Amino acid sequence: MSLNLSTSQAMDNLVQGISVLKHTYPAPVSFQEKLYVFYNGSGNDGIWYTVFDGTSWAPMVSVRQLVPSLSVYPGTSPSAVVYRGLLYLFYNGSGRDGTYYTTFDGSKWNSSITSVAQAAGGQGFLPETSPAATVYGGKLQLFWSGSGRDGIWFTTFDSKVWAAQTSLNSLVKNIGIRDSTSPAVCTVDKYLYVFYQGSGHDGTFFTRLGKQGAWDAIVSVNQLIPSGMNYGDGTSPAATPLVVGGPWILLVWNGLHDGDGLWYSIISTDGTGTAQVSLKDAIGAEPVLNGSNAGVGMWNNVPFVFWPNPRQRMFFTEGQSLGI
């Protein structure tokens, strides 16, 4: 299994004014046949986005101007997911009072925000961490790092009611997530995967919710893939399906040392993974802003990887071909 990626491009050459806040990362999502990319602006001025229609990128838009009550905790990133025809935009509130969201129908933003903490009967996040959302089993699934340094938590939404928050650590033994890092989630081949950075700085791990409705034991990516891997402290993994309906996940992370840049491996649902590949070596990719991460997503059956460089400029690369 191999992935060929395009030469990286600077987003500010395509969309004037894009710049990413330190310690944050972009959140791409496919919606109504377009690619949306959300990010926390470098002026700490809230969430912005741009849209790609397959031909050109639209000028950036401030969500705060459309949803005035939206206010983001510094050093955190948004998460976007599509559920039942709406785009849900999640973010951690500036008052450190839990995660919030608003929705977009493709034409108009809901001008109000909803508190997950209030809807789910309590919820809080660890500073410098961000929410992660996906759809699985007909429900919206939201994950985050607990405010009490007590592991990974989640809740679900069936379009009407948010379930009470649940500790993933209470369901899966030996989960230990590194401080100041966030989980990454994706749905692949009828599995819900949750990736996280190990608390012992011993690489990335994952668990998954299986077809029988039970969570699997944790798996070390460091031990799974040839030659192993490790991550830069204070950074988080990113994961996306590699092919619609396929059994593969593109897992991306920051290298162990400053200047290493981004690395990736392709993880399969059969329990195998490819050797890590350096984006710097493969395509000459720009390094990553210290303390920031990649944001990954799929559009038109093509994987995209976005990241901020040390000057807070956003770059991206896209998949060109997949060797099986």
Instruction: Determine the average pLDDT of the residues in 296-323.
Output: 94
**Banded model confidence at residue 251, pLDDT cuts 50, 70, 90:** very high
pLDDT score of 39 more than 90: yes
**Banded model confidence at residue 155, pLDDT cuts 50, 70, 90:** very high
Per-residue pLDDT tens over the stretch 2-22? 899 999 999 999 999 999 999
Per-residue pLDDT tens over the stretch 96-148? 999 999 999 999 999 999 999 999 988 999 999 999 999 999 999 999 999 99
What domains, with CATH codes, occur in the chain? 2-323 (2.120.10.70)
Please report the pLDDT score of residue 324 as a whole number: 65
d(CA 83, CA 134): 9
pLDDT score of 41 more than 90: yes
Q: Count the Cβ atoms, other than its own, within 10 Å of residue 314.
A: 26
Please report the pLDDT score of residue 255 as a whole number: 93
Stated pTM of the model:
0.97
CA neighbor of 312 nearest in space, from 6, 26, 7, 79: 26
In the block, tokens 């069936």 appear at 158
Arithmetic mean of pLDDT over the chain? 95
CA neighbor of 9 nearest in space, from 69, 72, 52: 52
* In contact, 203 and 228? CB cutoff 8 Å: yes
Per-residue pLDDT tens over the stretch 156-204? 999 999 999 999 999 999 999 999 999 999 999 899 999 999 999 999 9
Per-residue pLDDT tens over the stretch 264-299? 999 999 999 999 999 999 999 999 998 899 999 999
Query: Residue 48 corresponds to which amino acid?
Result: W
**From 34-43, 156-165, 190-199, 250-259, the region with the lowest mean pLDDT:** 250-259
d(CA 99, CA 46): 14
pLDDT score of 243 more than 90: no
